[in-house]
Amino acid sequence: MALYVEGLSKGVANGGMAQFQEMMRQQLESSMHDELEKLLDTTTGAEREVSKKDFEGFKNLFHRFLQVKGPSVEWIKIQRPPEDSIQPYDKIAARGLPDNVANSLNKLVVVKLNGGLGTSMGCKGPKSLISVRNENTFLDLTVQQIEHLNKTYNTDVPLVLMNSFNTDEDTKKILQKYTHHRVKIHTFNQSRYPRVNKESLLPVSTNLSMNGQNAEGWYPPGHGDIYASFYNSGLLDQLIEQGKEYIFVSNIDNLGATVDLHILHHLVSQPNGKRCEFVMEVTDKTRADVKGGTLIQYEGKLRLLEIAQVPKAHVDEFKSVSKFKIFNTNNLWISLPAIKRLQEQNAMDMEIIVNPKTLDGGQNVIQLETAVGAAIKCFDNALGINVPRSRFLPVKTTSDLLLVMSNLYSLEAGSLTMSPKREFPTTPHVKLGSSFTKVQEYLIRFESIPDMLELDHLTVSGDVTFGKNVSLKGTVIIIANHGDRIDIPAGSMLENKIVSGNLRILDH
């Protein structure tokens, strides 16, 4: 990057700016192509063929990255979406359901994005294999939900997992336990792209292996890669041949993302020419969601606007709850034939997300990524549906995990629903400190999960443990200063309390 910029400044001095820029771009692209060929030459057979396909996608992304001339949106052109382009969920649900729900379900495929690791919560291996409720993992709950649908309506809704090279092997091992469940499970892999040295704009890997230091040279390129990798896997065609028409895509860690029969019915009941090819579920923004992507109208199309695309001068405006009232849950309903058409026409256009990283050795690299929702502008009759907050229940941290493990939710057929005993529908705001970050540490600190039915806000910081059958109500703040420890006694009831200092419960 530095060489590129230095070259540009010389080009400006010589007057031929545009010409020089183009020359530099071509030179960088040519160097990248040479390096990718060298990487391909380090292996043979099937691995080489898979990597060759992946590299075609990467070359296209890299080419577009070099062409970018400033921000991808002009702030002045942003408009609010037209009234009818974001429908309230209640309006969709008011239509009711037909007698033949099974017909609609048999056109559906559930796709879960399963490329992530549980490292942010201190776990090794795929995040989907973390226990979240009654010893059930994210994957267990997903399988239970779909099996329940298939048994209830006598249908054949398959589950498709988009794995990454980080999660594929471990996930496939665990899938054997579901062989007797009434769910067909398919997998395909996201692409594997090379991380790029920030200075030279060349790959950091020297070969295609995933061993040693070289393993750091590769990354899965964001969930926007779903379209190309699904198509390349052959699974897309296979499902279309089976009469499948729509996929419901969501993050596997969003426990609110269950199959919604009303949205599905809305999709399949439209006349063919007016069929909606893409639905994005959005929900009302709160102060906790200010960084979430939102829907805008841009150059006559519905479009996803992410915080990374917002010019610095307008970031506060973007975060405003009054101007941008909704955000993307990443629960998406997408037409399978439309994905096939757009892939074959090479018409899938998604903004590039440049993700800077620092490797363990201190080397600065960039990852070129795309987001699945950014393709909304490519599809016909795209629609936003403003869904209840209950459809967005992601578990990104142990604070989220505490909520879903508590008595705030009841579990039935793999689905979590808010307890009817809670008087207000919003979830409490929970902030657990760094002593709780890793799942193993978090579990040791709770002898049992507290009663949280009447909790509004919980902040815990420092060395704190909870005894059995603790009850938390209203606003509770517990802060153990450095060197102090607080043990909340078994059976305690804390209501609108601040606890600080040092509180040890000694065994007698």
Q: What are phi and psi of 409, to 5 degrees?
A: -120, 145
Give the CATH number, domain containing residue 473: 2.160.10.10
User: Which one-letter DSSP state was computed for residue 247?
Assistant: E
Q: Which of 59, 396, 438, 497 is catalytic?
A: 396
Cα gap 201→33, rounded to integer Å: 12
The answer to whether 366 touches 196, Cβ cutoff 8 Å, is: yes
Judgement on whether residues 466 and 364 belong to the same structural domain of the protein: no
378 with 476, same domain: the answer is no
- pLDDT for the residue 159: 98
**Any catalytic annotation for residue 69?**
no
Same domain for 208 and 157: yes
Q: Which domain holds residue 301?
A: 75-391
Instruction: Assess if residue 386 is contained within a domain.
Output: yes
Yes or no: say if 350 and 110 are a contact pair by the CB < 8 Å rule.
Answer: no
The answer to whether residues 155 and 283 belong to one domain is yes
Phi, psi of 247 (to 5 degrees): -110, 145
Residues 314 and 461 in one domain: no
Domain match, 376 and 479 both: no
Q: What is the pLDDT of residue 70?
A: 64
CATH of the domain at 173: 3.90.550.10
| Residue 114 within any structural domain of the chain | yes
Q: Is 45 annotated as a binding residue?
A: no
pLDDT of residue 10: 47
Domain boundary among 360, 391, 422: 391
Q: Phi-psi region for residue 248, left (φ > 0), alpha (ψ -120 to 50) or beta?
A: beta
Distance between CA atoms of 496 and 492, rounded to whole angstroms? 13
Q: Does the annotation place 319 within a ligand binding site?
A: no
Of 262, 260, 264, 257, whose CA–CA distance to 93 is shortest?
262
3-state SS assignment for residue 137: strand
SS3 124: coil
Is 190 annotated to bind a ligand? Reply is yes
Residues 6+ apart with CB under 8 A from 214: 205, 206, 207
pLDDT at 292: 86
- Cβ-based neighbours of 189, under 8 Å, separated by 6 or more: 162, 163, 164, 165, 168, 229, 233
* Distances from the Cα of 124 to the Cα of 116, 175, 252, angstroms: 11, 18, 16
DSSP conformational letter for 310:
S
In the structure encoding, which two tokens stand for residue 77, read together? 């052109």
Domain contains 356: yes
14 falls within a domain = no
DSSP H/E element including 57: helix 45-67
Residue 273 annotated as binding site: no
Q: Could you tell me if 381 and 437 lie in one domain? A: no
Residues 245 and 188 in one domain: yes
Longest dimension (CA), the chain: 85
Whose tokens are 């109500």? That residue is 473
- In total, how many domains does the chain have? 2
Residues 188 and 325 in one domain: yes
Closest CA to 217 of 232, 196, 201, 240: 196
Is residue 106 domain-resident? yes
| pLDDT value of position 69 | 67
Residue 222 assigned ligand-binding role: yes
341 inside domain: yes
Domain boundary among 335, 368, 391: 391
Would the annotation count 438 as a binding residue?
no
- 142 and 281 in a single domain? The answer is yes
The amino acid sitting at 342 is L
Contact predicate 111/259, CB 8 Å: no
Give backbone dihedrals phi and psi of 169, rounded to 5 degrees, phi first.
-65, -50
Say what the pLDDT of residue 414 is.
94
431 occurs within a structural domain: yes
Residue 10 lies in a domain: no
Domain boundary (391, 412, 437) is at 391
pLDDT means per 10 residues, the chain with 508 residues, are 48 63 90 94 88 92 85 84 92 93 97 92 92 94 97 97 94 95 96 94 90 85 94 96 97 97 94 88 86 89 88 86 89 98 93 90 92 95 95 94 96 94 89 95 96 96 95 95 91 93 54
Distance in angstroms (rounded) separating the CA atoms of residues 91 and 262: 10
Tell me: do 223 and 315 sit in the same domain: yes
Same domain, 373 and 419: no
